[in-house]
Amino acid sequence: MRSRYSAYVLVLEPYLLATWHPTTRPTELNLSDDGTKWLGLNIKRHQIIDENHASVEFIARYRIAGRGYRLYEISRFVREDGRWFYVDGDLNPQEKKSA
């Protein structure tokens, strides 16, 4: 998770795509240096589901044009051939609990 956050900060699209599971990976991300200033990553918790599945709950903070934002997600990962891949995630899971 930390390496993927760092890849977003450094706009490393090839790394992000390489660590994304092929079944859910987009063909491209079109990341650009759009003035986003990443401010930090807070891993709230991680859960090992079994030897090949895990989830990570995190909040990433960033600023665009002076305005602050948060990306809150519970991400799912799968391990294949000894490597972890991002599969997908639930954005703003608190909103889903209250709905």
The count of domains in the chain is: 1
Q: What is the DSSP letter of 19?
A: T
Range of the domain at 8: 2-98
Give Cα 28 to chain centroid, integer Å: 15
How high is the pLDDT of residue 49? Answer: 97
20-42 tens-digit pLDDT: 999 999 999 988 777 889 999 99
Distance (Å, whole) CA 41 – CA 13 = 18
Q: What CATH number does the domain containing 54 carry?
A: 3.10.450.50
Phi, psi of 10 (to 5 degrees): -90, 5
Q: What is the pTM of this model?
A: 0.87
